[in-house]
Chains A and B, each alone.
Chain A
């Protein structure tokens, strides 16, 4: 093979520092994805861009690592009996339509208000959706932990399940029956959010819990099926445009495949509502992070006057907060796994003591 020089405008030079950084972010992103079904992507794309990777290459390379990671995570959780394949496929089908609608909206905004307008729309969507959904998920997790972890079918889901509107679908693993017409808006919203903020799971998982009525475990596991199917479709599109930097993809994949399996194992160590706690926490911190990016876009649109030094500080703090969101999620997951393992050891010790 001829060792031709690389197009430096499209592909960055890799240093050991870059490689280590991407590997670690990939690992933590994988850990969070394996546990809550999504996440990681929202840090990886800006992380790559901070290394000088062009936006399109960062998105494409991230997506190319996302679908095999989701596939491995879904397989692992399928073995634990947590994946409802049918639910994942039905949701992914309507999410695909949502993605197309999301792209159209983005194009409209881009044509009317330019790049700053589009960025502002993305950031505001981030803040609004994550603040509302994240607060509710967090509140619900808090309520469930107060009632000693007893998780019941949410009221809305119970009402919707009672409506007999054909075609009714029975989701065997999730153990529920609901009209197809109620799954479509959830899937559509997942796709719409995926096209806007690249993390559809922040609506998909709560949607499956509160609208469809699946448990947190099944929702987060089935979200991995959606991520695989949508990620695969997106990768085909980006790869056909030649935007995938395989080196970046493989480095992130090296970390994330280790992380996603650890996250999947972690779901068997914790109580059901821990998934909600991690998800709610990450969503609220990410909302704060994107909120810090809003003044920059308002300034670009000349709707607000902010000096350059303040904007650069805000930008840095915003990125750091985003990394913090992922780190906090990882700490909670690993912390609860350690706690779970200790409890298991303690139970084993008591058992062997009683047998003596």
Chain B
């Protein structure tokens, strides 16, 4: 059991290191050429795809790094919570008997 936990921890550490390195490389790449990249990404029109694509790539790498980092620090979700409420019976519309025409005359 302890060996299994240790193996899991090592796996998480490896993943954190790999995604951390990817994230650091991406940030270094952008900030080394910060001025031309900022100008290029702000040209408008079809160039709009550049900042949007960039944030997707960064969020994938940095998101995976952050997730593994918190796990490595022992901060993980406690349990999968029961998010659904107990089914409460919904009040039904009161069904009144239909009015009938009396022909008593």
Residues of A in contact with B (beta carbons under 8 Å apart)? 1-7, 10-11, 14, 64-65, 67-69, 71-72, 75-76, 80-82, 151-153, 158-159, 161-164, 173-175, 215, 217-218, 232, 235-236, 239-247, 249-250, 253-254, 257-258, 261-262, 264-265, 267-269, 337, 340, 344
Contacts and interface: CB of A to CB of B under 8 A. Distances in A.
A175 B87 contact: yes
A265 B77 contact: yes
A261 B67 contact: yes
28 contacts: A1-B33, A1-B36, A3-B36, A5-B35, A6-B35, A71-B59, A75-B63, A76-B67, A82-B81, A82-B83, A158-B90, A175-B85, A217-B83, A239-B52, A240-B45, A245-B42, A246-B38, A247-B34, A249-B51, A249-B55, A253-B59, A253-B62, A254-B27, A261-B63, A262-B75, A264-B77, A265-B77, A269-B78
Task: Give the top 6 A-B pairs by smallest Cβ distance, nearest first.
Answer: A242-B44, A239-B48, A68-B59, A268-B77, A175-B84, A242-B42
A250 B58 contact: yes
Contacts of B27: 250, 254
A257 B48 contact: no
Contact of B66 (A6, A243, A257): A257
B39 interface: yes
- Chain B interface, >50% SS class: helix
Given A11-B38, A242-B43, A268-B81, A235 B70 contact: no
Contacts of B30: 246-247, 250
Interface residues of B, number: 47
B69 interface: yes
Given A158-B90, A215-B84, A235 B66 contact: no
B54 A246 contact: yes
Contacts of B79: 268
B75 A265 contact: yes
Contact of A68 (B34, B43, B55, B66): B55
A152 B91 contact: no
B93 interface: yes
B88 interface: yes
Given A240-B45, A242-B47, A261-B70, A152 B63 contact: no
A1 B54 CA distance: 18
A65 to B, nearest CB: 7
Nearest to A75: B63
B81 A65 contact: no
Contacts, number: 154
B33 A68 contact: no
A262 B83 contact: no
Highest count of chain B CB atoms <10 Å: which of A5, A161, A173, A253: A253
Nearest to B59: A68
Contact of A80 (B34, B48, B81): B81
B92 interface: yes
Interface string B14-49: 000000000000010011011111110111110110
A207 to B, nearest CB: 17
Contact of B92 (A6, A81, A162, A340): A162
B86 to A, nearest CB: 8
Contact of B80 (A11, A67, A80, A159): A80
A344 B75 contact: no
A76 B50 CA distance: 26
Highest count of chain A CB atoms <10 Å: which of B36, B38, B50: B38
Given A80-B80, A158-B90, A217-B83, 8 more contacts: A1-B33, A69-B59, A152-B85, A153-B88, A236-B48, A239-B48, A257-B63, A257-B66
B36 A4 contact: yes
Nearest to A6: B35
B76 interface: yes
A217 B84 CA distance: 9
B84 A240 contact: no
B36 to A, nearest CB: 5
B51 A344 contact: no
Highest count of chain A CB atoms <10 Å: which of B31, B55, B76, B85: B55
B41 A244 contact: yes
Given A215-B84, A245-B42, A253-B62, A64 B90 contact: no
Nearest to A237: B48
